[in-house]
Amino acid sequence: MEAAAKDSDLLGLYQEIILDHGKSPRNAGVIENADCRSDGKNPLCGDRVAVTTELDQQQSIADIKFDGKGCAISIASASMMTEAVKGLSITEARLIFEAVRTICSKEASVLDAMQDVGNKLAPRLEKLASLSGVRQFPARVKCATLPWHTLMSCLDGKATASTER
């Protein structure tokens, strides 16, 4: 197969795991009666994603789904995110979010980021390592981080709502 240079760059970016998640997204959909919901958009690329989560008594993420329309990177990142944060506390989800933001936008090594998040979260972060490929493509960084920002908004919304309970 002939591939232009740009395509081969994209092949490097859209590694196997990203392709897989882009084609067969995990946890796609909307949770009815979700504890929180947030809608995110990335006007730069046209990506949209809605994140709904269900929290358990310990305020851990018992369930999470995303409903997205957009490029393969945004869908893959959302899919990978739902797998990565399910079962985590809100604090842990924030740690993973910060680490993902770091590996997607800075020249930080994934191994360093894994050390920073600690033993429990490191294996989850490792599965997200392929997202770090977007930093070679600054225009795509927001595609990868959109679902994560949306999740943070979702969890922030939950925190605000819980003071009224």
Residues that bind Zn ion (CB under 5 A): 45, 47, 70-71, 74, 143
Nearest to 99 by CA among 141, 147, 132, 140: 132
Angle made by CA atoms 15, 114, 83, in degrees to the nearest 5: 55
Provide, rounded to whole angstroms, the least separation between the CB of residue 72 and Zn ion.
8
Residue among 84 and 143 whose Cβ is closer to Zn ion: 143
For the chain, the first-to-last Cα distance in angstroms comes to 59
Residue among 90 and 144 whose Cβ is closer to Zn ion: 144
Q: Determine how many CB atoms are found less than 10 A away from the CB of residue 86.
A: 17
In Å, how far from its chain's centre is CA 13?
A: 16
Residue among 67 and 126 whose Cβ is closer to Zn ion: 67
Residue among 142 and 158 whose Cβ is closer to Zn ion: 142
Identify the DSSP state of 54.
E
Provide, rounded to whole angstroms, the least separation between the CB of residue 128 and Zn ion.
17
Provide, rounded to whole angstroms, the least separation between the CB of residue 13 and Zn ion.
12
Provide, rounded to whole angstroms, the least separation between the CB of residue 11 and Zn ion.
17
Residue among 45 and 108 whose Cβ is closer to Zn ion: 45
Nearest to 28 by CA among 71, 64, 62, 60: 64
| Residues 64 and 82 sit within 8 Å (Cβ to Cβ) | yes
Provide, rounded to whole angstroms, the least separation between the CB of residue 90 and Zn ion.
26
